[in-house]
Amino acid sequence: MNISTINNTCKRYLKAATFNALRVSIIAFISFVSAQNCFGASQQNPSTTTKTLSDSTGILISGLVRDSNSKLLARATVSEKNGKTTSITDAGGKFSLRVSNRNAVLKVSYLGLETKEIPINSQRFLQIVLNASQSKLDEVVIIGYGTSDKKDLTGSISSLKGEDIKSATATSFVDALQGKIAGVRVNSQSGEPGAGVSVEIRGGNSINGSSSPLYVIDGVQIEMQESEVASSKVGGRTTLNPLSTISPDQIASVDILKDASATAIYGARGANGVIIVTTKSGKSGSKPVFNLSSSYASSEITKRIDVLDAQDYVQYRFLRSPNDRGFGTDLDNDGVPDVVRDVSALESYDWQDAIFRRGATQKYNLSGQGGSNSSSYSFGLGYSDQDALVINNDFKTYSARFQYNHRVSDKLDFSLTGNWGKTKTRGVASSGGGEGNFSGLIQAAYTFQPVLIKAVDDSFTPVSLLDQLLNSYKLTDFDRLIGNANLTYAFTKKLKLRVSGGGSSTSSKLSEFYGKNTLWGQQDNGKANNNHTQTGNYQAHSTLDYWTKTANRQVLKAMIGAEFNSYNYENFGTSISNFQDQSTGVFNLAKGLTPGFPSSNFIEQNRISFFSRLNYDISNKYLFTATLRNDNSSQLGPGNRSAFFPSAAFAWRIKEEKFLKNNQIFSDLKLRLSYGVTGNDRIPAYRFLSELGTTSYAGNGTVRFGLSPISSENLNLKWESTAQYDVGLDLSLFNNRVNMTTDIYYKSTKDLLLLSEVASQTGFPTQWQNIGEISNKGLEITINSVNINTADFKWNTTFNISFNRNKIVSLGGTESKPVIFNNGYINNVGIVKEGQPIGTAFGYVWDGIYQINDFTWQNNSDAAIPHQSRTYTIKNGITSISGAQPGLFKYKDQNGDGIINASDRTVISNSNPKFSGGFSSNFTFRNFSVNAFFEGGYGNQIFNEFPTRVESGSGQVSFNLTQQYWDNRWTPENPSNRYASISSANTDAEASSYYVENGSYLRFKTLSFGYSLKNNGLLKATGISNLNLLLTLDNLYVWTNYSGFDPDVRSNDKLLPGYDRLAYPRSRSIIFGLELTF
């Protein structure tokens, strides 16, 4: 069965499912509207006359509604308090309605603005101004396919304003979320510009499936897939962030949906949470406003690692290889070196000083917005240029955005958004783990020999690291275009149809070349790689929204919708080596004589979905929400492609009860309860079918092409499903001066999509199956407080903390699975094990160093025999391991048999913190402002693989050593119980707790100072209405015991994120900024 047949079969199935589900949805909606009408009628008192806009009784009044900037507000709600008449303002902000008497009170509301109650006092025409909301309860929150006042939420949703994103100084809005939101854990792979980022909301839900959230950017759904950025495996496996094309300066808000009640409306795509990004928009009826911002940052590396200088290095090499004449001097001409060679006359290098520099970053952003009575627009342009910490490496971003909204008529609205971004990553800096190159450039800065001496048995002459940087070429281009168009038609004031269509496309190209005088091209006489990736993501959805308000303050809102999503991915790569002429490098592959294996891949995924949501509000006191979504996916087996995902939530606004209604302490008190089920189908495409892979066979003295089984078919493959319970409490005190949100949750993911080993009799080694279960449970607390609020001085603080406990409940009968890190000195490092969390290392428990008194030797342990001439035998009662000698690693005997072997391996680390969070404090005094932000985590552990390279043992003999190890290593004269001896037979080439370190940290992330000058007469004369001067110190200090560059690190394997080869260092920066508004 070929791919075309597969896609056609999937489409036919999804088409049939579409008509069936659509028919059910329409019948359900008609039934709901009919039932609602009956309900509404039954609630009316037959003896009461209900006044509506069509009534001829009462007093007719009219007016205009504006915001504090004099913008006329369309669709503001104007109603008589405790009355029955309601009016909605038109495009010009006008309203009219009849009220019961001349002393009536109007209630005027608009999303995001303060609700006002205005006595009529016999007036017939009113000019009403609504101010910006100062209460967290009046904030507008973006939810799935709509918006809501925060006070009306029944689910767990957190929000950040654009100012909070921008103040984080990050190059990506994803990085800017770190430490800002309870329950959201953000880790970047390294400090490399544009490095890949991991985001988990309330823990990881899957083993082989994706655990990253869904992103909705201006209505377009995007799944962050680092594979969309073309990458190389040469020198390292660090990936780049595909969302770095979204400029943080252009974002208006970020809303994060966390519990199932909030995410179930997205069904299978919402299992890992949803992050909704809304870019800036214009305002109808407002004059043009433009903003120009510029900043310059100077950056430096935060940490040095002391390694041996040239002479100490030569002494080490002579100690390790005493017969090598490259490092010793033969004084008596017998052909055997007698003393360490003096290299003071040779050129030596401090590679840290040679390759690291002071970085510099420039950013420029221009944005504008405005509008007429019926239209609004906004646009943004951005550019940044970052000279990285490593020489000859830089990262550039380009961005452009526009948004246009137009009210065609009182019934029809139209909007269009577009967002384009481009990144260019240049340079060969990498963090190791690449194929055939265990050490990347970052590790080489510490392991590379400080004096270029060729050992006798070296195959190649040592090359300079500067040659690696200056004579290599690597460029990665990435483009993303996002577009969306929306039509909204109001049949009546209560019934609206929304139709939306849009998508995202990406294109990425990697070109790299390593010449014969570089580390990675030396053995191939030059090596080139080309890799090209492109994707298309297309979607269309329509929703029908209906709302009504009954006589006794009951509000019903209903929505039904349908959606189609299609995603395709295409990749092509090629490599070639053995260049006879290297002058044109990667730009003329015809000069390479030895082609590598090309690679190509194409996939297509389709989903069709139907969804509905019902909101029921009783007296603004009891809030109910129910959602139901049906997803149909081509990813799964033919009989299991369709699934339903329901959710229900209830919120009780206790503050509205009589016993708290007039309480002056409580501004709001709300209890939230929710339950829902979401799904996950995010695994590689076509995994329900059998898979064959390419291989080679030997025959008649030649190598022949062939195919070999990889995975057998499973036509019953179905969704992972995650059921989540949430109990939340929202509390506001002292006129909203203190606001606290607390959530307790429990998630259970069953029917894991797991690549499992199967019996060899099947002819296949593996099969994708639905087996296993993972649970996450936790607590989230967020506290916002306004500590001082006077005309001149304001001080507010924000604090959040999260606790999450992840557990693999079942692997379907398999007790554990190994986690392998290839291209390193220790490969079998991690484990996926029942009863343990995702992210555990597995190995021996380190128990110090074998000492001489643990052994006996010749002549009844004759002390006169020199150490190097002794034949050591371990004593009875001392735990034994193969090759044990004094000065080597010792491990604990877990099973008590006296011998160290694989049975003694156990869980030795946990990558997950016990808790994480952030704290910010903001001070404003007249025109001056100060902001301090801290973030951190406690209790996580990191498997630090770097010591295997710089402590003599399993690393290459040519690698340099750290000064700390060299000065404190075990010798007979210095019987250290911390550092092993220099020995090629060391027992340290095993995963053990020796390499596990405490990853807890507290980071002083930013300290910002600002000065704002508004409505200054001199500035106004130049057309400038506002001027902001900014000074920010970024990554000031990190309190940690971790010995690596930074404890905030993530490997490229989500099954053991706490694994570090010495990642690209993070910088400390000072940033100067200027903003002009005109």
Say if residues 529 and 586 touch (Cβ distance below 8 Å): yes
* 432: DSSP letter: B
* 888: DSSP letter: S
Strand, coil or helix: 670 = strand
Measured CA to CA, the distance from residue 932 to residue 795 in angstroms comes to 12
Say yes or no to pLDDT of 38 above 80. no
Strand arrangement of the beta sheet that strand 996-998 belongs to: 996-998, 941-944, 1059-1060
Which tokens belong to 426?
């240049």
| pLDDT at site 823 | 74
Q: How many residues does the chain have?
A: 1078
| pLDDT at site 86 | 83
What's the whole-number mean pLDDT along residues 239-253?
Answer: 89
Neighbours of 1016 (CB within 10 A): 14
| pLDDT at site 983 | 82
Domain boundaries, the chain: 47-133, 310-347
Say if residues 260 and 398 touch (Cβ distance below 8 Å): no
| pLDDT at site 471 | 86
Say yes or no to pLDDT of 854 above 50. yes
Measured CA to CA, the distance from residue 416 to residue 69 in angstroms comes to 24
Say yes or no to pLDDT of 44 above 50. no
Say if residues 950 and 958 touch (Cβ distance below 8 Å): no
| pLDDT at site 151 | 82
Measured CA to CA, the distance from residue 225 to residue 684 in angstroms comes to 11
Q: What is the pLDDT of residues 296-344, one digit of tens each?
A: 999 999 999 999 999 999 999 999 889 898 999 999 988 899 999 999 9
Say yes or no to pLDDT of 1044 above 60. yes
Measured CA to CA, the distance from residue 282 to residue 688 in angstroms comes to 47
| pLDDT at site 18 | 42
| pLDDT at site 81 | 83
CATH number given to 47-133:
2.60.40.1120
What's the whole-number mean pLDDT along residues 800-812?
Answer: 96
Say if residues 44 and 552 touch (Cβ distance below 8 Å): no
What's the whole-number mean pLDDT along residues 235-257?
Answer: 86
Greatest mean pLDDT among 36-45, 377-386, 655-664 lies in: 377-386
Confidence class of residue 560 from pLDDT cuts 50, 70 and 90? very high
- Read off the amino acid at residue 760: S
What's the whole-number mean pLDDT along residues 408-428?
Answer: 94
List, as own/partner pairs, every contact residues 860-868 make where C-beta atoms lie below 8 angstroms and the sequence separation is at least 24, other chains included: 867/972
| pLDDT at site 138 | 55
Say yes or no to pLDDT of 45 above 60. no
| pLDDT at site 135 | 55
Confidence class of residue 133 from pLDDT cuts 50, 70 and 90? low
Say yes or no to pLDDT of 1016 above 80. no
Q: What average pLDDT does the chain have?
A: 88
Say if residues 886 and 851 touch (Cβ distance below 8 Å): yes
Considering only CA atoms, which of 448, 479, 486 is closest in space to residue 465?
448
Measured CA to CA, the distance from residue 910 to residue 901 in angstroms comes to 22
Which tokens belong to 547?
């709302």
| pLDDT at site 431 | 66
What's the whole-number mean pLDDT along residues 228-244?
Answer: 81
Above pLDDT 70, what percent of the chain? 92
Say yes or no to pLDDT of 695 above 90. no
| pLDDT at site 168 | 63
Say yes or no to pLDDT of 1066 above 50. yes
Position of tokens 């001067």?
A: 1029
Q: What is the pLDDT of residues 481-501, one digit of tens each?
A: 999 999 999 999 899 999 999
Strands (E), 136-235: 140-143, 146-149, 157-161, 184-188, 197-201, 214-217, 220-223
| pLDDT at site 517 | 87
Above pLDDT 90, what percent of the chain? 66
Neighbours of 963 (CB within 10 A): 15
Say yes or no to pLDDT of 476 above 80. yes
* CA distances in angstroms from 558 to 149, 154, 611, 779, listed in the order given: 16, 15, 11, 31
Confidence class of residue 20 from pLDDT cuts 50, 70 and 90? very low
What's the whole-number mean pLDDT along residues 64-90?
Answer: 82
Strands (E), 388-522: 394-407, 412-426, 472-490, 495-514
Say yes or no to pLDDT of 291 above 50. yes
Position of tokens 């690209």?
A: 1064
Position of tokens 């060729």?
A: 454
| pLDDT at site 1019 | 80
Greatest mean pLDDT among 146-155, 533-542, 987-996 lies in: 533-542
What's the whole-number mean pLDDT along residues 227-244?
Answer: 82
Higher pLDDT, 3 or 520: 520
Relative to beta strand 59-67, strand 125-130 is parallel
What's the whole-number mean pLDDT along residues 259-274?
Answer: 91
